[in-house]
A and B are shown apart, each in its own frame.
Chain A
Amino acid sequence: GESVGLHLPTLSVQEGDNSIINCAYSNSASDYFIWYKQESGKGPQFIIDIRSNMDKRQGQRVTVLLNKTVKHLSLQIAATQPGDSAVYFCAEGSYGSSNTGKLIFGQGTTLQVKP
């Protein structure tokens, strides 16, 4: 079946280092991808999205890279801070219907930032 998966369940980085969180997807029909951040006890928070007609998109301290050839998505966080500690989810869907909530979510990667 279709699935979205993350390569590592936990990523530990030193404060100030760059973090890279990876995600694999298997539905070649997906044309829209999103990264969410979920802090303990809270709901997910939208970080950044990318459509399949792009390879890279940058936000504030975050960059999402999309490699459609190998169906791989990554989230890069520059100068990681303690406040970045959270679970990060990737999600895939169709650009035309994703705003209805029709997304396939990955299992999540826990990012731990060491001071």
Chain B
Amino acid sequence: NAGVTQTPKFQVLKTGQSMTLQCAQDMNHEYMSWYRQDPGMGLRLIHYSVGAGITDQGEVPNGYNVSRSTTEDFPLRLLSAAPSQTSVYFCASSRGTSGRAEQFFGPGTRLTVL
């Protein structure tokens, strides 16, 4: 199994540009989440999904959209990039059974917005 994969690894955008961060998992996990990690800080939840067709907002959803058309994929869209969105983005998945949050994280996408 590849686990959780994210593309691209690095990206530089100009203010106002849009882009999609890709996330895929091959573990048949129901739950998937997107986080951002800023320097010296812990992760903050952007959006999450509890299954195909179901998404919801996390702690910091503004400026981001998500969709979940398949169990495997959970792309994150930046609508109009801003310098404040410069961060490292992590996607995670978990089985969704019981409450245990044994999430599996991808390697991250480092995004810089100029």
Contacts and interface: CB of A to CB of B under 8 A. Distances in A.
| A, B bound | yes
B98 interface: yes
A49 B25 CA distance: 23
Given A43-B107, A45-B105, A93-B101, A100 B44 contact: no
Given A49-B100, A99-B100, A43 B40 contact: no
Nearest to B110: A41
Interface string B97-111: 111111111111000
A83 B42 CA distance: 21
Contacts of B106: 43
Interface residues of A, number: 28
Interface string B75-114: 0000000000000001010111111111111111000000
B59 to A, nearest CB: 8
Contacts of A108: 40-42
Interface string A67-102: 000000000000000000000010101111111111
Nearest to B34: A101
Nearest to B33: A101
Contacts of B48: 100-102
A51 to B, nearest CB: 8
A49 B101 CA distance: 8
A50 to B, nearest CB: 11
A94 B100 CA distance: 10
A44 B4 CA distance: 12
A107 B101 contact: no
Contacts of A89: 42-43
A46 B105 CA distance: 9
A113 interface: no
Contact of A99 (B35, B99, B105): B99
Interface of A: 4, 32, 34, 41-46, 49, 89, 91, 93-108
Given A102-B45, A102-B48, 14 more contacts: A32-B101, A34-B101, A43-B92, A43-B105, A44-B105, A46-B101, A49-B100, A49-B101, A98-B99, A100-B48, A101-B92, A103-B101, A105-B41, A107-B41
The 5 tightest CB contacts between A and B, nearest first, are A105-B42, A101-B33, A43-B105, A95-B99, A98-B101
